[in-house]
Amino acid sequence: MPHILFDKFNKELVSSSTNDEFTFNFVATSYNFTNKIRKTEYKICVNKENKEFLLTLKNKDEKFLLKSDKVTRVTPVQIIKDSLNEYAKAIEANILFSNTQNFNQKVKPTQKYLKDIDYFINDFNTEKEIQIEIGFGSGRHLLHQAKENPKVQFIGLEIHTPSIEQLLKQVQIQELDNILVVNYDARLFMEFINSNKVGKIFVHFPVPWDKKPHRRIYSNEFINEALRILKLDGTLELRTDSRKYFDYCSELLTNLNTGRITIDINKDLPISSKYEDRWKKQGKNIYDVILSCNQEDEDISLDFDFTFQEDINYDEIISIISTKAVVEDDYFIHIEDLFTIEGKENSGLIQVTFGSFDRPLSKYILIDNKKAKYFQDLPLPTSSNLKAHNKLKEMLKK
C-alpha cells in the first residue's frame, strides 16, 4: 500500500487549499465513541480531475503515517501516490520513508471477458438468450456449452479466483466470445438481471454445506429470484452427488405453488466435470433436479432512491449515535467511525458498513452543513442495501 512516514510538518492544512492539479477539500478528525474524545486519525478529502477520494493520516508514537483510505476507491493507483506526495509537500512534511515514487509498472492486460458488478448494473445489454452457470469450477461444462451454443450469451459466476483465471485462459485459447465472467456471490447476482431474460441456470455440484445449510446456493429466495429472471419454459438445473442436497432442494421446490419438476438419476451428459468423474469412480449416484419456469414476471427497477432528503444535525448525532450493530433478518448496519470536518459547523463523515451479510458494503456518508449524501458513488442497487439505507435515514433523523 502506498504510504509516507514523517516526523514533523510545518504547515497545517485544514481547509481547502489548491495547487494546479489537486484540491484538498477538507480535513476531518476521527471521533472516538468509547472515550468520547478525538482520536489522532484524520481523513483528507482530495479532488483531482473530478475524482474525489480520501487519504488517511494517523499519528502514532510521535510519527505520522499518510496513506490511502481503504473504503474510497480510485484508479489508477498513481493518482493516490501523486496525491500523497502532493499533500506531504503542501504541509512541508519531514519525510522519513516513502514508497510513492513513480516506478514504471507493468500494466496487466485488460481482461475483456472479466466484468465487475457495475458493468451488469450500468452497461450490460444483450438481445441474445442468456444462460448462467453458477460455481463453474474448472469450467469444463461452461466452455462446452459456449462452444455448442454460439448464439447464447453465457455468464459464469465464481468466487474462486484461480478457477476464474483458468477459465479466462481457456476462453482465449478456444477463441470464444460468448462468455462473460463475474467474481460475485451467485446468491446476490441475480438481482441485477432483468426479468424473463434467461434460458437456463446451471448449478452443477454446488458445495453441499451439510453442516452450514444457510450457506447453500439454493434457498426460497434464490429459487424465487431464479424464476423471476427465467423466461417461460426456462430451466433451473441442479446436478449433485449429495443425497442431502438433493432432498433439501426437492423439498424446497415441491413447496412452490406452481411449477414442473423433473428428476433423473445417473443421467449421462455430453461433458463430465472433474467432480463428477471423481464421484462416478466412487460409485456414487448423481441426481439431476430440473425446475421449469411456467410464469412471466414484471420487470424490476434498479432505480432505487439512495438520497437523504432531510437535514442531518451532525453535531448532535455524534454524541448520541450508537456503534452497536443493527441486525435484521436480511441486512445489518454498523457505524464504524465518525470524522468531524475541521472549521465547519454540522459537517462530517460517517463511516458505515451495511447491507447483506454475504456482501457487506463500506461507505462514507458526507454531511456538509446538514446536507447528507454518499461520498463518491451510491451504494449498489440491491434490496438489502436499500433497506439498510432507509433504516440509516431513520437513525440519523434523531
Ligand X SMILES: C[S@@+](CC[C@H](N)C(=O)[O-])C[C@H]1O[C@@H](n2cnc3c(N)ncnc32)[C@H](O)[C@@H]1O
Q: Which residues bind ligand X (CB under 6 A)?
A: 134-138, 157-160, 163, 185-187, 204-207, 217, 273-275
Nearest alpha-carbon partner for 380 in 350, 355, 348:
355
Q: Supply the minimum distance, in Å, between the C-beta of residue 330 and ligand X.
A: 16
Q: Identify which of residues 106 and 211 has a Cβ nearer to ligand X in the complex.
A: 211
Q: Identify which of residues 204 and 387 has a Cβ nearer to ligand X in the complex.
A: 204
Nearest alpha-carbon partner for 219 in 251, 245, 252, 250:
252
Q: Supply the minimum distance, in Å, between the C-beta of residue 99 and ligand X.
A: 34
Between CA 187 and CA 168 the distance in angstroms is 22
191 C-beta neighbours (distance < 10 Å), count: 20
Q: Identify which of residues 86 and 133 has a Cβ nearer to ligand X in the complex.
A: 133
Q: Identify which of residues 82 and 241 has a Cβ nearer to ligand X in the complex.
A: 241
Q: Identify which of residues 55 and 134 has a Cβ nearer to ligand X in the complex.
A: 134
What are the CA-CA distances from residue 172 to residues 71, 107, 130, 284 (Å)?
A: 33, 19, 20, 34
- The secondary structure of residue 294, as a DSSP letter, is -
Nearest alpha-carbon partner for 193 in 95, 265, 125:
125
Helix H or strand E segment including 280: helix 274-281
Q: Supply the minimum distance, in Å, between the C-beta of residue 143 and ligand X.
A: 12
Q: Identify which of residues 271 and 321 has a Cβ nearer to ligand X in the complex.
A: 271
168 C-beta neighbours (distance < 10 Å), count: 18
Helix H or strand E segment including 316: helix 314-320
Q: Supply the minimum distance, in Å, between the C-beta of residue 206 and ligand X.
A: 6
Between CA 10 and CA 211 the distance in angstroms is 59
Q: Identify which of residues 279 and 374 has a Cβ nearer to ligand X in the complex.
A: 279
Q: Identify which of residues 2 and 208 has a Cβ nearer to ligand X in the complex.
A: 208
Q: Identify which of residues 189 and 306 has a Cβ nearer to ligand X in the complex.
A: 189
Q: Supply the minimum distance, in Å, between the C-beta of residue 237 and ligand X.
A: 11
Q: Supply the minimum distance, in Å, between the C-beta of residue 2 and ligand X.
A: 31
Cell (9 digits) for 146: 459456449
Q: Supply the minimum distance, in Å, between the C-beta of residue 209 and ligand X.
A: 9
Q: Supply the minimum distance, in Å, between the C-beta of residue 389 and ligand X.
A: 24
Q: Supply the minimum distance, in Å, between the C-beta of residue 128 and ligand X.
A: 22
296 C-beta neighbours (distance < 10 Å), count: 11
Secondary structure (DSSP) of 97-142: EE--S----PPPPP-TTEE-HHHHHHT---SS-EEEEES-TT-HHH
Radius of gyration of the chain (CA): 25
Cell (9 digits) for 150: 454460439
